[in-house]
Amino acid sequence: MPPTESARRSAVNMLDQILGEGRLMSELLGSGALERLPPAERARAQRLTTQTLRGLERADKLLARHLRKSPPLHVHNVLRLGTVELALGGDAHGVVNDCVGLVSGHKKFGSLKGLINAVLRKMAVEGPRDWDSLRAPQMSKWLRDPLRQAYGADAIRGFEAAHFAGAPLDLTAKGDAAAVAQAVGGTVLPTGSVRLQDAGQVSALPGFDTGDWWVQDAAAALPARMLNVQPGETVLDLCAAPGGKTLQLAAAGANVTALDVSAYRMERVVENLSRTKLTAQITVGDALTHEGGPYDAILLDAPCSATGTIRRHADLPHARDGAEIGELISLQAQMIDAALALLKPGGRLMFCTCSLLPDEGECQVDEALLRHKSLTVDSSARDVPGVDPAWHTSEGGLRLRPDYWADQGGMDGFYMALLRT
């Protein structure tokens, strides 16, 4: 008889695939990893997985005191999950018994249930006592080294503190941000996004069903604000899914074409357009071969390493090793060139990436300016409410970092620059 599915069992299974196979959580969720769980347990499984990944270094330090050698990955992940739960105040009896039960009937690992019981009983004492004395977990070396070179050691410690703290929920209002903030119990950030520290179930928040807002990190909302589209302008949103920027452009009154190569991901864009009662032309296709336009403006949120989103996607540095970054940098340059060819004379291109790596941001713009002699960076586009001059970059763009707004919950790492032909 197959084991009963539970939030903890599902979380351990996802940890096995993220840490053992390099799978991303988004891939696992998209392939139905949690579909057998009811909604509340599904959310709990995601939370347990994310908490364990965030606290992995701390958990391993605590566990190393009592493990002569690393156990098999599956067993190690049970111990890691249990340690994190216990350290964060989980009920010792329930956590220990359930974690033992996760392996007790396992053909390969059942004999290790005694190890799990003994170690986690020690963690029930040591975890809550020692957890906060350990440093914020460090990023993987493949990412930490180039970021430390770019920003310095102090900034990196700020990044890591923000990653470990996680992210509050940010909303973009279709209309009045202050009214949305009052309705959902949030606050309006300096740049106009609405932030909730303890949101709970998103679909249960006031205004969800009526489409008054959509989920979008405050940093991710800035490129469309800088682009400043006007009613009636023709605008192309390249690499549009999951659609937050499409919604912003449509809400501003532009005639929007949303293009993405993934039909599956575009389904979410269609759903959000329907919920918010906004319209855009949906096109599934390759940004490098698109033949529409010419457009007044283009927003290119280019494929990237997504290293700016770790505070929300704790799996990313564990599932990736940086091997794909060179290929992504080449693709970004190709996309910039293709987008420029789709603009009307005098048109504008917003280039942005949710990456912390300068090679995927500032350096891309520097090199685009060398390739296209008539291209300029419109530094005045940065003059939008709430933008701190400290975020300005020398070539005319904005560099956002997770350690900015630290006392308010941080923001995603992002780079953006408005280019004019």
Q: 134-158 burial, b if ≥16 CB within 10 A, otherwise e?
A: eebbbbeeebbebbbeebeeebbeb
Return d(Cα 113, Cα 408) in angstroms, integer: 43
Per the annotation, the verdict on 363 as an active-site residue is: no
Return d(Cα 411, Cα 166) in angstroms, integer: 10
Encoding tokens for residue 136? 């914020």
Return d(Cα 256, Cα 419) in angstroms, integer: 19
Q: Of 99, 352, 354, 363, which is the active-site residue?
A: 354
Closest CA to 302 of 414, 174, 144: 414
Residue with tokens 């060139």: 337
**Do 59 and 293 contact (CB within 8 A), yes or no?**
no
Residue with tokens 């067993």: 75
Phi and psi torsions of 194, nearest 5°? -105, 130
| 279 class by beta-carbon count within 10 Å (0-12 exposed, 13-18 middle, 19+ buried) | exposed
Return d(Cα 76, Cα 378) in angstroms, integer: 52
Strand 414-420 vs strand 398-400: parallel, antiparallel, or unpaired? antiparallel
Degrees to nearest 5, angle at CA 282 with 354 and 173:
55
> Where do runs of H (alpha helix) occur along 252-324?
263-276, 316-319
**In this structure, which amino acid lies at residue 184?**
V
**Do 395 and 366 contact (CB within 8 A), yes or no?**
yes
| 232 class by beta-carbon count within 10 Å (0-12 exposed, 13-18 middle, 19+ buried) | exposed
Return d(Cα 353, Cα 305) in angstroms, integer: 9
Return d(Cα 83, Cα 230) in angstroms, integer: 53
DSSP state of 175: S
- As annotated, the active-site residues are 354
